[in-house]
Amino acid sequence: MIIVVAPGQGSQTAGFLAPWLEVDGVREQLGILSDAAKVDLIEHGTLSDDELIRDTKIAQPLIVAASIVTGRVLLQGRESSVSAFAGHSVGEFAAAALAGVLSPSDAMSLVGVRGRAMAAEAAHVATGMSALLGGDADDISAKLSELGLFAANMNGGGQVVVAGATDALAALAANPPEGVRVIPLSVAGAFHTTFMHGAVETLRVAANAVVATDPATPIYTNSDGSRVSSGSRYLDLLVGQVSNPVRWDLCMESFARDGVTGIIELAPAGALVGLVRRSIKGLPTVAVKTPDDVTAAIEMLEAS
């Protein structure tokens, strides 16, 4: 059972799309997806620096488009070898496009709206996110309550991403719970928290204008780690996800329970296979970062 996964915001690095433009058809696909998202993906994926592509309204379309185009390169004629799709946070839009819930253009149009709306909400108050590694769960929970912070991403593998006001995050970094390492993340907002309620309503209006179909390939949700068989329900969960926690830990529990035998992470890859390796020991993984990695991913699919 091979599951193909798509990463979330923070996975992007300057110039990461450049090698993919040498692959037949990718430049043309990115042009179409750029028009849908109203973002120049080719320019930002090749020429823009790390600071510019940190901007939420650029980062989100860039990451989703990368996963869509690399997924389509990988899956040509091999769709039946994929047992399921899943995405982390905004990566769920790429999973939805690859699983047949949304057309690639509709997925990108919604991601463009999502990114702009979340950036607008983030501009109202200085907020951010930090990853916490290690420590005791009860101690962490108590500290978050004390500082008014939220657990935004439960990533498993000993990692929790917290979100909230930047001064509260600074206080956490200055005095973390025992055994906890705090790593500030390259995102400009308290995503998956109540700070994003306004963005949910904006995205909901846009989502009402697209058609979602039931997935052609099984797909997991970050809401509770379950498989979702209804396209309309999956789209509704995508909208609500903006202000609700990401439960990647529960997704990985479902992968293990359902008998996963391998994970392939689409570009810009690396973060999710790292979490999987820490949570499901010994599971084969492939991170498709550049076109050179496609061969190993194909071999995993063909061996399944």
pLDDT digits (tens, 9 = 90+) for 22-47: 999 999 999 999 999 999 999 999 99
> Does residue 89 carry a catalytic annotation?
yes
pLDDT digits (tens, 9 = 90+) for 292-303: 999 999 999 998
Q: Where along the chain do its domains lie?
A: 2-122+193-303, 127-184
Classify domain 127-184 by CATH number.
3.30.70.250
CA–CA dist 173, 129 (Å, integer): 11
pLDDT digits (tens, 9 = 90+) for 87-139: 999 999 999 999 999 999 999 999 999 999 999 999 998 999 999 999 999 99
pLDDT confidence of 188, banded at 50, 70, 90? confident
Superfamily for the 2-122+193-303 domain: Malonyl-Coenzyme A Acyl Carrier Protein, domain 2 (3.40.366.10)
Given 67, 109, 130, 192, the catalytic residue: 192
Q: Residue range 236-261: average pLDDT?
A: 97
Given 34, 48, 67, 89, the catalytic residue: 89
Alpha helices for 54-196 (secondary structure H): 56-75, 91-99, 104-122, 137-147, 166-174
CA–CA dist 57, 63 (Å, integer): 11
- Of 21, 18, 17, the C-alpha closest to 61 is 17
> Does residue 124 carry a catalytic annotation?
no
pLDDT of residue 10: 81
The single residue listed with the structure tokens 């109203």 is: 38
